[in-house]
Amino acid sequence: MSANLVPIILPILSIVAYLAYKHSFTSYPRLNIITPFQERVVIIGCTTGIGRELVLLYAQRRARLILFARRETLLNDLKQECLQYYASEPEGGKNLIYVVAGDAINDSDVQRCTQTASSAFGGIDTLILCAGVISVLPFVDLCCLSVTKNPTGTGFSVTSVQTPDDPMTAVRRITEVNYHAPVLVTRYFLPFLISASRAPNVIVVSSMAGKTGTPTRGIYAGSKHAVHGFFDSLRVEVEKYNVHVGIVCPGTVDTGLRASAVDLRPQEAEAAVHGSTKGKLSPRACAERILRASDAREREVYVPGWYYWTLWMKVASPELLDGFARKKYGY
């Protein structure tokens, strides 16, 4: 394919593919099996951002909710905010929303969550995995390497900057939260999904970084690629049990996630980080799309939809895609 035609052809192909894909999901048969107010939903990582907006959307449906996150005060505040939508329910809906404070990387905390779901609702229909952390440093910076061009103009010199921080601490942390935690949570909830729901869903809130790498997001992209590899495999394995596995890949979202990146040192927390926020998505818009994706049991969703073009570009002209990534992240 001529390089001059790539920027023209790829968007056209992407739009056609996206419209065809979207058209195939114009109905929501799952809603005929599980009505919205009967749906039993567990949301992991839900006190801020996309997760919080998902809770509010499901509460507006008066769904049966289990909210799981680390900060108990925020969980209880969120529950109180949700109860306004359950005013017509017995006891004001207090027996329809439960909170479980814990860490998604801790076996005993996750097991407490499954026990709560079992005792409160007899199982679950939908598991939504929202918890996650991000990274914002180039790997060279994370490794505390200083690279300078040689005075001769050819080649580079590398020196190691002494620091008390071990770069692998951030790597292990992001892998633990973004990859190990979703696998762990799925391990404990899968039996309930298979045995207690007529249309069980596992919905993974991932990222475009799970589809293509970008500068300054290396270890984050690595963790998200692992997520895609696992859940794509799981989808094939559990389809025979009627378990649906869907993955949602948002672009840049307007949350505070970047300020708490695993590789930012305390003195850097207030500094600007790489990456354009132009055209960033609202958590609410993402949550609304995730809700529709779950209802329609969609396999993989990009938010916004035109991001489907990245798949075509990665195959047809990966160098061009790299160029867009460098521009977006100012690298």
Give kind and range of the element (H or E) at residue 245: strand 244-250
Instruction: Enter the pTM of the model.
Output: 0.88
Angle subtended at Cα 177 by Cα 211 and Cα 284, rounded to the nearest 5 degrees: 65
Residue 311's SS3 state is helix
The candidate with the shortest Cα–Cα distance to 215, out of 308, 315, 280, 137, is 137
Residue 69's SS3 state is strand
Strand partners, 204: 129, 247
Structure tokens of 269? 């927390």
d(CA 104, CA 193): 18
Structure tokens of 82? 């949700």
Q: Residue 24's pLDDT is what?
A: 52
Any idea which residue has 């298979």 for tokens? 194
Structure tokens of 264? 């930012």
Structure tokens of 187? 């391990």
Residues 220 and 179 sit within 8 Å (Cβ to Cβ): no
Q: Residue 306's pLDDT is what?
A: 79
The candidate with the shortest Cα–Cα distance to 130, out of 44, 252, 54, is 44
pLDDT tens, residue by residue, 256-300? 777 778 888 655 555 545 554 566 889 999 999 999 999 999 999
Sign of the CA dihedral running 24, 25, 30, 35: negative
pLDDT tens, residue by residue, 41-97? 999 999 999 999 999 999 999 999 999 999 999 999 999 999 999 999 999 899 999
Structure tokens of 294? 């779950």
Residues 222 and 212 sit within 8 Å (Cβ to Cβ): no
Residues 261 and 273 sit within 8 Å (Cβ to Cβ): yes
Structure tokens of 226? 């692992």
What integer best gives the mean pLDDT of the chain?
89
d(CA 74, CA 67): 11
Q: Which CATH class is domain 26-136+170-297?
A: alpha beta
Percentage of the residues of the chain whose pLDDT score is greater than 90? 67
pLDDT: is 284 or 307 the higher one? 284
Alpha carbons within 13 A on the beta-carbon side of 179: 19
What is the Cα 275 distance to its own chain's centre? 18
Q: Residue 153's pLDDT is what?
A: 81
DSSP structural state of residue 177: I
Residue 88's SS3 state is coil
Domain boundaries, the chain: 26-136+170-297
Structure tokens of 168? 């692998």
pLDDT tens, residue by residue, 14-29? 665 655 555 554 568 8
d(CA 180, CA 25): 31
pLDDT tens, residue by residue, 138-189? 999 999 899 999 988 889 999 988 776 788 999 999 999 999 999 999 999 9
d(CA 130, CA 190): 17
